Structure 1
Amino acid sequence: MPYITAADGAQIFYKDWGSGQPVIFSHGWPLNGDAWDVEMKLAADNGFRAIAHDRRGHGRSDQTWAGNDMDTYAADLAALVDELGLTDILLVGHSTGGGEVVRFAARHGAGRVAKIATAGAVPPIMVKTESNPGGLPIDVFDGIRAGVLADRSQFFQDLSESFFGINQGYAVSQGQRDQFWRLGMQMGLKGAYDCIKAFSETDFTSDLEALDIPFFLAHGDADQIVPIDDAALRTAKIAKNVQLKVYPGAPHGIAGEYQKALGADLIAFFTS
């Protein structure tokens, strides 16, 4: 299996399908690169080189004790780009991965990134602060940490309900719920715990302000994990050159009709 070596020696797993202009897919918490398989095949079938890595602490990458933070995640992605010699890159990030690609593009992507797309992404910042009064209280994220520590397996099974909007009537198979649980259980406990702080408390405002490349900003208006009002709707006011697409009734998890629509929109964005 292919790996690259990060600056601290961590081994980062990646998948590399097809040929053409590179599209890098960055996954959400608590998943790994397999979460993008459908979109990767779609991209490769349409003449792109589809690449997805497992973030450190997730999937098949090393479960490091240190480095489970957004700066290191972005640096790991930069190491992957350097190792593969990629240019003219299209970036796609979901949830936590949306934050990762925004930070990578702002800090490491100058002259290398052509376009960026996010779906249900965490920027500009999730947690409630004085400067972000509409954010989620820290108690929400403390509860996630407690759930992960107490019984990670059951917590991920329960989380799949709101992740996919099942409690709001969104139709998702048991198989997809099982896959969410399976990918989550491949993640190390330390990485799972630390990543909660990374996705909830990292402020991406300055990263968004620095971007001037075409930006496709996708979000479901029924997202219960990363509510749209304090995420995509705020990001659209900060970043430049933004194309905002709101998917009515779509949850946080990319599945069902939302997945089909998003896939078609990504290919249209890549080729425009």
Structure 2
Amino acid sequence: MAHQIETAPGVHLHVEDEGSGKPVIFIHGWPLNEAMFHRQKQAVIENGYRYIGIDLRGFGRSDQPEENYIYDTFASDILAVVKELELEQYTLVGFSMGGPVAIRYAVKYAGEQLEQLFLLGPAAPSFTKRMGYSLGMEKEDVDDLMEAIDEDREKALQDFGGNFFYQDVSEEAKQELFDLSMQASKQATISAAEALRDEDLRDEAGHIRVPVTIFHGRHDAICEYGFAEELEQRIPTVTVVPFEESGHGLHVEEPDKLNDELLQRL
């Protein structure tokens, strides 16, 4: 079943809702959408859980407003979905940019119904270098990426996708990544990259009070493995599961391992 859920005046999110049992909410990365999780969706449903896949505003089949592509807005949209679907005792899964969005949600918006947090190659605590933090991209490089998207979005996203995988994945997997990326609006793609550049969750991460598991590719060239090690120092309730044969696309490169690890913890 698919829902169109209004999360703000004039903004409706596309939400996939399939299966039964305890809900598992999936939040995609930049600039993808919930369809990236189709390998996990099948495993979740077949093992007796309810799959909730949210297309963030501006991405996939959700509405594409002109503004408000910041972590706080994404997180408040998730809260609106949780309330509308009356979800209880759920797990939240965030991939890449969906990781810091999930952290923001867990700290600022989640009530006692959130049981645990899974972070997949999270772009957290900060996607870019800053004072006292040497990990991630230079802010200027994100500026260049935003400019490249504005000038030639197809080429910019193809170039970005070239860093997504460690393994030599199929052309079909590469095309899937590109196709999902192109379903986002150009404005959302640029504005969410700005949020990735500017947001800093180093202090926030320490306030998570539910169990957290981080699944991270050792060879991640987009959100380096050091992010997981940094979060491990900051989150009091964390477990890190390394993926030895994956880059950023661990859901494609080691899908069976990821599914097994997720299901063991649900």
- TM bucket, shorter chain: over 0.9
Q: Is the 8 A contact 2:136 2:223 kept in 1?
A: no
Q: Are 1:95 and 2:96 an aligned pair?
A: yes
Pick closer, same or farther for the CA change 1:64–1:256 going to 2, 3 Å. closer
Name 1:239's counterpart in structure 2. Answer: 235
Name 2:264's counterpart in structure 1. Answer: 268
Q: Is the 8 A contact 2:24 2:52 kept in 1?
A: yes
Task: Give the superposed CA RMSD.
Answer: 1.3
| Corresponding residue to 1:183 among 170, 174, 180 | 180
Q: Are 1:248 and 2:248 an aligned pair?
A: no
Note the residue ranges of structure 1 that are not aligned, 5 or more in a row.
none
Q: Are 1:48 and 2:49 an aligned pair?
A: yes
Q: Is the 8 A contact 1:25 1:53 kept in 2?
A: yes
- The amino acid across from 1:175 in the alignment is E
Distance in 2 between the 1:111 and 1:69 partners?
Answer: 24
Distance in 2 between the 1:69 and 1:221 partners?
Answer: 28
Q: Are 1:2 and 2:3 an aligned pair?
A: yes
Distance in 1 between the 2:62 and 2:83 partners?
Answer: 18
* Partner SS, residue 147 of structure 1: helix
Name 2:195's counterpart in structure 1. Answer: 198
Q: Is the 8 A contact 1:22 1:48 kept in 2?
A: yes
| Alpha-carbon shift at residue 203 of structure 1 (Å) | 1.3
Q: Is the 8 A contact 2:215 2:242 kept in 1?
A: yes
- The amino acid across from 1:137 in the alignment is E
After superposition, give the CA deviation of every residue in 1:81-140 in whole Å (9 maximum; x if it has no partner).
000001111011110011111111111112120011011101111211113233421122
Name 1:71's counterpart in structure 2. Answer: 72
The normalised TM-score by structure 2 is 0.96
Q: Is the 8 A contact 1:107 1:207 kept in 2?
A: no
Which stretch shows the higher mean deviation, 26-35 or 240-249? 240-249
Q: Is the 8 A contact 1:171 1:256 kept in 2?
A: no
Q: Is the 8 A contact 2:33 2:54 kept in 1?
A: yes
Q: Is the 8 A contact 1:172 1:255 kept in 2?
A: no
Pick closer, same or farther for the CA change 1:3–1:256 going to 2, 3 Å. closer
Name 1:129's counterpart in structure 2. Answer: 130
Pick closer, same or farther for the CA change 1:213–1:255 going to 2, 3 Å. closer
After superposition, give the CA deviation of every residue in 1:193-215 in whole Å (9 maximum; x if it has no partner).
00002123211223311112111
| Alpha-carbon shift at residue 41 of structure 1 (Å) | 1.3
Q: Is the 8 A contact 1:157 1:177 kept in 2?
A: no
- The amino acid across from 2:201 in the alignment is F
- The amino acid across from 2:210 in the alignment is I
Q: Are 1:225 and 2:226 an aligned pair?
A: no
- The amino acid across from 1:181 in the alignment is F
Which stretch shows the higher mean deviation, 216-225 or 155-164? 155-164
Distance in 2 between the 1:55 and 1:6 partners?
Answer: 10
Distance in 2 between the 1:192 and 1:269 partners?
Answer: 32
Q: Is the 8 A contact 1:118 1:217 kept in 2?
A: yes
The normalised TM-score by structure 1 is 0.94
Task: State the identity as a percent.
Answer: 29
Note the residue ranges of structure 2 that are not aligned, 5 or more in a row.
none
Name 1:172's counterpart in structure 2. Answer: 169
* Partner SS, residue 116 of structure 1: strand
Q: Which consecutive aligned stretches of 4+ in structure 1 deviate over 6 angstroms post-superposition?
A: none
Q: Is the 8 A contact 1:213 1:240 kept in 2?
A: no
> Structure 2 matches for 1:100-119, cutoff 5 A?
100-119=101-120
Distance in 2 between the 1:199 and 1:112 partners?
Answer: 28
